[in-house]
Homo-oligomer: A and B are copies of this chain.
Amino acid sequence: MTTSQLTEQIHLKKSFLCIGLDVDIDKIPKHLLKEEDPIFAFNKAIIDATHQLVVAYKPNLAFYEAQGIKGFQALKKTIDYLNENHPEIFTIADAKRGDIGNTSGMYAKAFFEDLNFDSVTVAPYMGKDSVEPFLAYENKHTILLALTSNEGAFDFQTQSFDGEELYKKVIKTSKDWNNGQNLMYVVGATKAEHLREIRHLIPESFLLVPGVGAQGGSLEEVCKFGMNRKVGLLVNASRAVIYASEDENFAEAAATEAKKLQQEMASYL
């Protein structure tokens, strides 16, 4: 999927919403536990109820890995279901991987070839050769952590680095890597005041913005400071949408929450 196709979808659906499929077996409605694959059943119901309101889904790998082989199978079924039924939807493996080049190449194979995600989140700490194996894939997308939504972002990311914050150094340096112009970046909604400066550094890049909803970020501020002339935003909500209800109507409740976010988004487009 190309970024132009993603932008088309955003305008078509009047939405730049991404739903985080961070599925915790302890939090899904109890009636699903009798299903053969409760996590996939949950995801399928959420996708069926929300796919017209969103342009992206983002499973976080940790939630699937915590379920062992069953979790891996649920993830595989989820991405296959999306690719077969909704190829127009952008898929993000939120994996935050990164290793020496030889090894990052293995992760790239896992996410881009075997699972066939459109994109993967990658951590920058190990530098250029840990990210370039992901960037080598055409029409696949590497989403680099820049400024994350958690408290710990202040430990290193916002610390000054010879007069410049580390997250800015990461953004500037990464633009020069092979195919670096294709990078997208993670910028937390909880750090919306930083978005203006980030937009100055990367006016054209897509930003994946987590932290709206359960983590307290404001959609209005994200749009005010983060939107570019092609929109250039994917705003993620996870818990606030997928756990809107614990009852049998959980998927409709999720769609209601997603619809609220989509309508607010439409007002900013």
The complex places the Cα of A149 from the Cα of B110 at a distance, in Å, of 23
CB nearest neighbor in B for A145: B125
Decide: A169 near B173, CB < 8 A? Known: A72-B69, A110-B66, A127-B154.
Answer: no
From B76, B103, B125, B145, A68 is in contact (CB under 8 Å) with B76
Q: Is the CB of A148 within 8 A of B166?
A: no
Q: Is the CB of A157 within 8 A of B107?
A: no
CB distance from A189 to the nearest CB of B (A): 12
Task: List A residues 135-175 near B (Cβ within 8 Å).
Answer: 145, 148-157, 159-162, 166, 169-170, 173
A22 interface residue per 8 A CB criterion: yes
CB nearest neighbor in B for A129: B152
A109 interface residue per 8 A CB criterion: yes
CB nearest neighbor in B for A211: B100
A262 interface residue per 8 A CB criterion: no
Residues of B within 8 A of A65 (CB): 106-107, 110
Which of A37-45, A48-56, A91-99 lies at the interface?
A91-99
Q: Is the CB of A62 within 8 A of B166?
A: no
User: Interface centre among A96, A148, A166, by most B CB within 10 Å?
Assistant: A96
Q: Is the CB of B150 within 8 A of A100?
A: yes
Q: Is the CB of B62 within 8 A of A69?
A: no
Q: Is the CB of B150 within 8 A of A106?
A: no
From B107, B115, B169, A62 is in contact (CB under 8 Å) with B107
15 inter-chain pairs at a CB distance below 8 angstroms, sorted by A residue, are A22-B103, A62-B103, A62-B106, A66-B114, A69-B69, A69-B72, A69-B73, A100-B148, A100-B152, A125-B125, A125-B156, A126-B150, A127-B156, A129-B150, A161-B166
Q: A63-B103, A101-B152 are in contact. List 5 more A-B contacts (CB 8 A).
A: A96-B123, A129-B152, A156-B166, A159-B162, A161-B162
- The 9 closest A-B CB pairs, nearest first, are A127-B152, A127-B155, A62-B106, A65-B110, A66-B106, A100-B150, A129-B152, A128-B152, A62-B103
